[in-house]
């Protein structure tokens, strides 16, 4: 049994996780923070396990996982060991998305580095830059990457 002195307020949880109270409330409203209890006054009380859980959620969010996927993961986690295979599959899909985004970002990094090299005089042929751009554009048109292309299009200067 958890006693109130073994729990923390949302403010203490915010301090422990580095997330704002607003973000924590949003996460809870979205069903991302399971098993939150309330004290006799109706105030949320969090356990130390919530700090680790929220750190995991934060890494999933930073890595690009959608709120919907995070919610599904939380729902499965609450259901326990019977959902391990479903959670594993969900994380495997997310890991594949991360790998695709990393590949896409590496292509972008190579283009930026080539432009830097061109401006620094280490690269004499601007055609190398445009070849990298074309290769990246061509590859992205033939794959289903979920990376930066999902953002609003940027108009060329």
CA atoms of 85 and 140, how far apart (whole Å):
31
Using 50, 70 and 90 to split pLDDT, how confident is the model at 97? very high
Element at 45 (helix H, strand E): strand 44-45
C-alpha 125/C-alpha 118 separation (Å) is 7
Residue 154 has pLDDT above 90, yes or no: no
User: So what's the pLDDT on residue 4?
Assistant: 57
pLDDT score recorded for residue 3: 56
> Which of these three, 64, 85, 113, is where a domain ends?
64
User: Domain for residue 40, yes or no?
Assistant: yes
3-state percent breakdown (helix, strand, coil) of the chain, nearest 5:
70, 5, 30
| Domain presence at residue 44 | yes
Residue listed under structure tokens 């006054």 = 41
Residue 139 lies in a domain: yes
Enter the DSSP assignment of 24. H
Name the β-bridge partners of 37.
Answer: 45
Q: Are 111 and 104 in contact (CB under 8 A)?
A: no
Please provide the distance, in angstroms rounded to a whole number, between the alpha carbons at the two ends of the chain: 62
Residue-number span of the structural domain to which 23 is assigned: 4-64
User: Could you give the CA distance from residue 7 to residue 54 in angstroms, rounded to a whole number?
Assistant: 15
Q: What is the predicted pLDDT for the residue at 118?
A: 93
Q: Which of the four pLDDT bands, split at 50, 70 and 90, describes residue 5?
A: low
The set of residues, in sequence order, having a beta carbon less than 8 Å from that of 48 and lying 6+ positions away, is: 8
Name the DSSP letter for residue 8: B
Q: Looking at the domain assignment, is residue 34 inside a domain?
A: yes
- Of 64, 83, 114, the one marking the end of a domain is 64
CATH number at residue 48: 1.10.1660.10
Is 69 contained in some domain? no
Among residues 48, 13, 12, 50, which one has the least CA distance to residue 32?
A: 50
pLDDT digits (tens, 9 = 90+) for 23-61: 999 999 999 999 999 999 989 999 999 999 999 999 999
pLDDT at 95 over 80: yes
Query: Is the pLDDT assigned to residue 136 strictly greater than 50?
Result: yes
19-23, 40-44, 68-72, 78-82: which has the minimum mean pLDDT?
A: 40-44
pLDDT score of 148:
45
Q: How many domains does the chain have?
A: 2
């Amino acid at each position: 049994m958890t006693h109130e002195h073994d729990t923390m307020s949302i403010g203490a949880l915010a301090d422990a996780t580095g997330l704002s109270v607003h973000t924590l409330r949003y996460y809870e409203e979205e069903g991302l923070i399971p098993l939150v209890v309330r004290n006799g006054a109706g105030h949320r009380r969090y356990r130390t396990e919530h700090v680790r859980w929220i750190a995991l959620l934060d890494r999933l969010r930073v890595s690009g996982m959608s709120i919907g996927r995070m919610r599904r993961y939380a729902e499965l986690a609450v259901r326990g060991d019977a959902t391990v295979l479903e959670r594993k599959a969900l994380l495997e899909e997310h890991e594949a998305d991360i790998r695709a985004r990393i590949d896409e970002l590496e292509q972008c990094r190579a283009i930026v580095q080539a432009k830097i090299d061109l401006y620094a005089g280490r690269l004499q042929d601007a055609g190398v830059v445009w070849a990298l751009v074309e290769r990246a554009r061509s590859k992205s048109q033939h794959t289903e990457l979920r990376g930066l292309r999902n953002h609003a299009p940027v108009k060329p200067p």
